[in-house]
Amino acid sequence: MILPIVAYGDPVLRKKAVEISKDYPELKTLIDNMWETMYNASGVGLAAPQIGLAIRLFVVDTTPFSDDDELTEEEQQQLKGFKKVFINAKIEEEQGEEWTFNEGCLSIPDIREDVDRKPRITITYSDEGFNQHTETYDGLLARVIQHEYDHIEGILFTDKLSSLKKRLLKGRLDKITKGKIQVDYKMRFPQLKRGR
Ligand code: NI
């Protein structure tokens, strides 16, 4: 089932999400719905707060990034078919010299900005079977995971921009909050006034 994606301005996107146990009700259905919602919106990642749940769960599938001609064959292979569920994730370490990548977010449609992040992360998480893993990722994989991880910490990529950039974007962000935007997937806007 496709779920509405929560838009910028909703308080749920600002909550520090809580851990879940394997008894979380209908977890498998929830994860299936998150995949369906993400693919329907052509995203490479989706975090539970974006569908209104402040729990530490996000999904990532970087396959759409794998046909970028600027990547090496090895990088393309790494991104292709990288499809994972991250539950109760904790980034243990971030390393390296920050690099810039143009990020977007399904909760903030039509806005893309350059964001600086460190290139390498070590993360501990449980998969959908609640098996724990500690893994190190770099490059674009790390980037997507860092972006989704921020969501479960209540952080959005726009928080990482300069104060000038933030000021310049404010009007567009307010419009998103009010639902004054055309989006080709289902969204929930915190300040949408019906019957305009
Ligand atoms: Ni996002």
47 in a structural domain: yes
pLDDT, residue 187, reads 98
194 in a structural domain: no
pLDDT, residue 143, reads 97
Catalytic residue among 75, 103, 128, 148: 148
pLDDT, residue 62, reads 95
Q: Which of 26, 35, 59, 44 is nearest to 125 (CA)?
A: 59
Please state the φ and ψ torsions of residue 30, each to the nearest 5 degrees: -60, -45
Report how far ligand 1's centroid is from the alpha carbon of 1 (Å). Answer: 20
153 an active-site residue? no
Domain that holds residue 58: 5-188
Report how far ligand 1's centroid is from the alpha carbon of 95 (Å). Answer: 22
124 in a structural domain: yes
pLDDT, residue 195, reads 58
What angle is formed at CA 123 by the lines to CA 120 and CA 128, rounded to 5 degrees? Answer: 135
196 in a structural domain: no
Q: Which tokens belong to 2? A: 């496709």
195 in a structural domain: no
- Helix residue ranges, H only, the chain: 27-40, 73-79, 139-152, 163-177
54 half-sphere exposure, CB direction, 13 A CA radius: 12
If one counts the domains in the chain, the total is 1
193 in a structural domain: no
CATH of the domain at 17: 3.90.45.10
Report how far ligand 1's centroid is from the alpha carbon of 184 (Å). Answer: 16
Report how far ligand 1's centroid is from the alpha carbon of 45 (Å). Answer: 7
66 in a structural domain: yes
In which residue are the tokens 């301005």 written?
A: 9
Report how far ligand 1's centroid is from the alpha carbon of 73 (Å). Answer: 27
Q: What is the mean pLDDT of each run of 10 residues along the chain (196 residues)?
A: 98 98 97 98 98 98 89 89 96 98 97 98 98 96 98 98 97 97 96 73
